[in-house]
Amino acid sequence: MKKLAIVPAYNEEGAIGGVVDEIRAFDPGFDVVVIDDASADRTAEAAARRGARVVRLPFNLGIGGAVQTGFRYAFDGDYDIVARIDGDGQHDPAQLSKLLPVVLGGEADVCVGSRFAGADGYRSSGVRRIGIRILARTVSLLTGQRLTDTTSGFQVLNRRAIALFAQDYPHDYPEVEAAVMVHKHRLRLAEAPVSMREREHGSSSITALRSIYYMAKVLLAVIVGMFRRSATPAEGG
């Protein structure tokens, strides 16, 4: 079974090395590909020095475009399992042990690490937390499945989900729309409680004013998306 860790990174030269090391420490069987989203710093060099494969984008595509590059890499490389881990160090690769069994056991095609599903509290600034809640509620309503954290990028996916996302993945702020896509394509989505770390380096790419823009954009996309006839997911292979 071929396993790949996709690590999108934008200006994370301080954190990326540690993330790559931690993935290797968790399971050396994982190939690691870092998608450098046209960083201005030495993210790509830092990742390559720790032995990760590095895909450098020619210009900044945003998180959605960067992650989809990883899914295309996984699809072309015939990987069976993908773990998505952010390059800023807020996801602890050791906690993949909570997500992997759900997908490997066939219970779900996508398993998302949720900050809110468990008892372990997650502190986030007020506005962002409310935004995350509103989006989670909307998606729960549209999919008829209770989801607590639709903005988490900490995910494990199987071949069917890789095939879908290699072909079609939302832009900008993709996790919310992706959750609806998964539902529309009749794949199974599950959540597992994880705890996340405070950001070690850099700052979140989403500021207060932009959150409003993203909220409007994502809600528009999600609502229109529900009226879309879904293509049948391409069979893996």
Partner 1 sequence: MIAGQTPLKVSIAATLASLLLLVVVFELIRSRRLRERYALLWVLTGIVLLVLSAWRGGLNTTAGWVGVETYPPAVLFAVALLFVLAVLLHYSTVLSKLSDQNVILAQRVALLEERLSSESTPEAEPERAPAEAAAPASPAR
* Minimum CB distance to partner 1 smaller for 151 or for 158: 151
Name the token pair of 67: 């992650």
Distance of closest approach, residue 108 Cβ to partner 1, in angstroms:
27
* Minimum CB distance to partner 1 smaller for 47 or for 221: 221
* Minimum CB distance to partner 1 smaller for 58 or for 105: 58
Pairing state between β 53-56 and 155-158: unpaired
Interacting residue ranges for partner 1, rule: CB under 8 A: 58-59, 171-172, 213, 216-217, 220-221, 224, 227-228
Q: Are 10 and 66 in contact (CB under 8 A)?
A: yes
Task: State the amino acid at position 110 in one-letter form.
Answer: V
Helix (H, G, I), strand (E, B) or coil at 178: helix
CA nearest neighbour of 9 among 88, 74, 123, 89:
88
* Minimum CB distance to partner 1 smaller for 134 or for 216: 216
E strand or H helix that includes residue 32: strand 30-36
Distance of closest approach, residue 225 Cβ to partner 1, in angstroms:
8
Distance of closest approach, residue 17 Cβ to partner 1, in angstroms:
26
Distance of closest approach, residue 72 Cβ to partner 1, in angstroms:
17
